[in-house]
């Protein structure tokens, strides 16, 4: 989604920040504003952790990483379905185009700062595995309209279908207002780019226009594709749900007066908020509560974390289950991100994940040994029908014999294929061996138990004792089926 009338080879459009009747240049290589720091996110699998690192100049990006992103962008241009450029950009031109004012890179893992990224480059990290995507933020128009921004997004080939685009879009909405922008426009989103359209529709962008026949795309030869123009105001959700903003809502509901310094737009938002919010006075030991549609509003980040941790510890449920439980009683923005952080920091869930990962590796190792044994026994099984034919069967003429029983085809069939064997020095092989040994030691304490499930309709509950310690509970009600399995692991009980 390039900026309006933008030439990738032209100089970077500088941001002109307008505040309190003052206008000044927002130069490249500037210190990042407060609040724009490396951000940890969780991918769609709810296990993998990634970090989005901000940059204000191409000089800050390690050259190998910059070259890798330039190659990925060139590949995207060659596909001819998302960006309008015809020719790829050299590395130096790409750096100025993408990181000339502000850009961000998503890397796999928990990374603290840009210095750690440079250290990764010095140690020769494989960027094809480590780099998930990148995006930039820059003015969509020059001069007096430079407070309207535009963004470009790039997901690497190996990071598809992992939720990378959605996470970068959410971060774009969070960081763009902190850079001084108040509105975002995407000028050229081809309607055939379904994945991108779904993201912007879900993130609150409005389809403010359509350009007929704007795309002569490679995937649609002889046909011109329409492009959608997306627009969205920035900062409304982020500012409006901040702790300071909630305090202003409380003040307005309590006194009926506007806070000092409130402009016309803020007064309008406060009047609209008074329709949906309700203030419950303090009663006894209960503090004053701000309610939104029957849910208590929690603006303090520490309070959000404490509530999420308490609810998670009650049953050690997953991200979706814990988030749904919180949504029933409380309200704050990005509840799922808070829950993800709580689960990552939960020692009992970390121990459980280790056991699950160990079980998967042991299962894969056992399956591999089983398949290897079948391959070794297969030639012998093919020879038995030829040596000992079944007595009741009538002899068939040679031309009607199956090919596998003819002398000519027996020789190739009895030649065993060389089985695939893992390298002894391979790390995966060592891990499988160590896991298999650990599983053998635990078999006495935790033997395999056959699983029997009884499903009872009309809300009845069935308890099935599978071992002295493991219990399975099945409940069916209102067309829903719930199952709870309680097992002991190292002195703790998990549900």
For the stretch 265-285, pLDDT in tens is 778 778 877 788 889 988 888
Give the CA diameter of the chain. Answer: 104
**Can you give the pLDDT at residue 50?**
95
Mean pLDDT of 378-400: 51
Q: Tell me which residue of 402, 406, 424 sits closest to 414, measured CA to CA.
A: 406
Is residue 129 predicted with pLDDT exceeding 90? yes
Whole-angstrom distance, CA of residue 299 vs CA of residue 246: 7
Question: In which band, very low, low, confident or very high, does the pLDDT at 46 lie, cut at 50, 70 and 90?
Answer: confident
**Regarding beta strands 49-55 and 103-108, do their DSSP bridges make them parallel or antiparallel, or are they unpaired?**
antiparallel
Q: Work out the angle between the directed axes of helices 114-122 and 63-79 (0-180°, nearest 10).
A: 90
Dihedral angle over CA of 393, 397, 402, 408, nearest 10:
120
Structure tokens at 82: 């998302």
Q: Cα 249 from chain centroid? A: 33
Please, what is the end-to-end C-alpha distance for the chain in angstroms?
A: 47
Coil, strand or helix at 313: helix
Coil, strand or helix at 64: helix
Is residue 383 predicted with pLDDT exceeding 60? no
Task: Name residue 42's beta-bridge partners.
Answer: 49
Residue/partner pairs of 337-344 with CB below 8 Å, 24 or more apart? 337/41, 337/42, 338/304, 338/305, 338/308, 339/308, 339/312, 340/42, 340/46, 341/305, 341/308, 342/305, 342/308, 342/309, 342/312, 343/312, 343/318, 343/319, 344/42, 344/49
- Please answer whether residues 489 and 470 qualify as being in contact, where contact means their C-beta atoms are separated by less than 8 angstroms: no
Q: Work out the angle between the directed axes of helices 427-442 and 347-387 (0-180°, nearest 10).
A: 100
Q: How far is CA 232 from CA 201, 204, 235, in A?
A: 10, 7, 10
Question: In which band, very low, low, confident or very high, does the pLDDT at 246 lie, cut at 50, 70 and 90?
Answer: confident
Specify the CATH architecture of the domain 15-238: 3-Layer(aba) Sandwich (3.40)
Q: Which of 154-158, 277-281, 290-294, 436-440 has the highest mean pLDDT?
A: 154-158
Does 239-348 match 15-238 at the fold level?
no
What are the φ and ψ backbone dihedral angles of 254, each rounded to 5 degrees? -80, -40
Question: In which band, very low, low, confident or very high, does the pLDDT at 438 lie, cut at 50, 70 and 90?
Answer: low
List the single range of 126-130, 136-140, 325-329, 459-463 with lowest mean pLDDT: 459-463
pLDDT digits (tens, 9 = 90+) for 189-212: 999 999 999 899 878 899 999 999
What are the φ and ψ backbone dihedral angles of 161, each rounded to 5 degrees? 60, 35
Is residue 28 predicted with pLDDT exceeding 60? no
Is residue 411 predicted with pLDDT exceeding 80? no
**Can you give the pLDDT at residue 332?**
83
DSSP state of 258: P
Structure tokens at 283: 């009663």
Tell me yes or no: is domain 239-348 CATH 3.40.50.10890: no
- Please answer whether residues 128 and 158 qualify as being in contact, where contact means their C-beta atoms are separated by less than 8 angstroms: yes
Length in residues, the chain? 495
Mean pLDDT of 452-465: 48
Whole-angstrom distance, CA of residue 111 vs CA of residue 115: 9
Whole-angstrom distance, CA of residue 82 vs CA of residue 104: 19
List the single range of 57-66, 171-180, 456-465 with lowest mean pLDDT: 456-465
Q: Where are the domains of the chain?
A: 15-238, 239-348, 461-494
Q: Tell me which residue of 129, 111, 117, 232 sits closest to 182, measured CA to CA.
A: 232
Is residue 443 predicted with pLDDT exceeding 80? no
Question: In which band, very low, low, confident or very high, does the pLDDT at 164 lie, cut at 50, 70 and 90?
Answer: very high
**Can you give the pLDDT at residue 47?**
82
Assessment of whether the complete model's pTM goes beyond 0.85 = no
Is residue 439 predicted with pLDDT exceeding 90? no
Whole-angstrom distance, CA of residue 68 vs CA of residue 139: 25
Whole-angstrom distance, CA of residue 458 vs CA of residue 4: 61
The DSSP line for 217-235 is -TTSTT-PEEEEEEEEESS
For residues 77 and 374, the model is more confident at 77
Residue with token string 């995507």: 133
Mean pLDDT of 480-490: 56
């Amino acid at each position: 989604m390039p900026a309006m009338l933008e030439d990738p080879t032209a100089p970077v459009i500088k941001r002109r920040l307008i505040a309190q009747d003052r206008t000044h240049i927002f130069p490249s290589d500037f210190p990042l504003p407060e609040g724009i720091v490396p951000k940890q996110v969780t991918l769609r699998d709810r296990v993998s952790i990634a970090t989005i690192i901000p940059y204000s100049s191409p000089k800050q990006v390690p050259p190998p990483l910059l070259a890798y992103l330039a190659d990925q962008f060139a590949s995207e241009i060659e596909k001819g379905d998302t960006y309008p450029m015809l020719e790829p950009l050299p590395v130096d031109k790409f750096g100025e185009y993408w990181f000339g004012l502000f850009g961000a890179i998503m890397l796999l893992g928990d990374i603290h700062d840009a210095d750690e990224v440079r250290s990764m480059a010095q140690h020769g990290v494989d960027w094809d595995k480590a780099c998930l995507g990148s995006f930039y933020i820059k003015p969509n128009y020059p001069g007096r309209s430079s407070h309207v921004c535009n963004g470009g997004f790039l997901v690497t080939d190996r990071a598809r279908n992992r939720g990378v685009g959605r996470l970068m879009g959410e971060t774009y909405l969070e960081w763009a207002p902190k850079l001084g922008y108040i509105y975002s426009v995407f000028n050229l989103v081809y309607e055939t780019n379904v994945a991108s359209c779904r993201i912007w529709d879900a993130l609150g962008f409005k389809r403010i226009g359509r350009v007929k026949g704007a795309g002569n795309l490679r995937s649609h030869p002889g046909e011109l594709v329409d492009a959608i123009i997306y627009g969205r105001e920035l900062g409304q959700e982020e500012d409006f749900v901040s702790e300071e903003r909630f305090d202003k809502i409380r003040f307005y509901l309590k006194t009926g007066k506007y806070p000092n310094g409130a402009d016309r737009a803020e007064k309008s938002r406060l009047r609209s908020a008074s329709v949906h919010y309700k203030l419950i006075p303090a009663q006894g030991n209960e503090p004053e509560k701000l309610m939104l549609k029957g849910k208590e509003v929690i603006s303090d980040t520490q309070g959000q974390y404490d509530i999420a941790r308490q609810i998670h510890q009650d049953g050690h449920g997953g991200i979706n289950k814990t988030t749904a439980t919180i949504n029933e009683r409380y309200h704050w923005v990005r509840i799922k991100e808070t829950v993800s952080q709580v689960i990552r920091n939960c020692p009992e869930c970390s121990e459980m994940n280790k056991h699950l990962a160990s079980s998967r590796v042991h299962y894969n190792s056992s399956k591999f040994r089983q398949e290897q044994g079948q391959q070794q026994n297969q030639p012998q099984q093919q020879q038995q029908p030829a040596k000992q034919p079944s007595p009741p069967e009538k002899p068939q003429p040679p031309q009607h014999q199956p090919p596998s029983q003819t002398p000519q085809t027996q020789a190739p069939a009895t030649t065993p294929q060389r089985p695939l064997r893992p390298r002894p020095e391979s790390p995966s092989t060592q891990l499988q061996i160590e896991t298999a040994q650990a599983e053998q030691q635990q078999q006495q304490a935790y033997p395999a138990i056959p699983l029997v499930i009884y499903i009872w309709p009309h809300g009845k509950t069935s308890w099935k004792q599978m071992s002295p310690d493991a219990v399975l509970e099945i409940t069916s009600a209102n067309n829903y089926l719930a199952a709870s399995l309680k097992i002991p692991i190292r002195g703790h009980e998990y549900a």
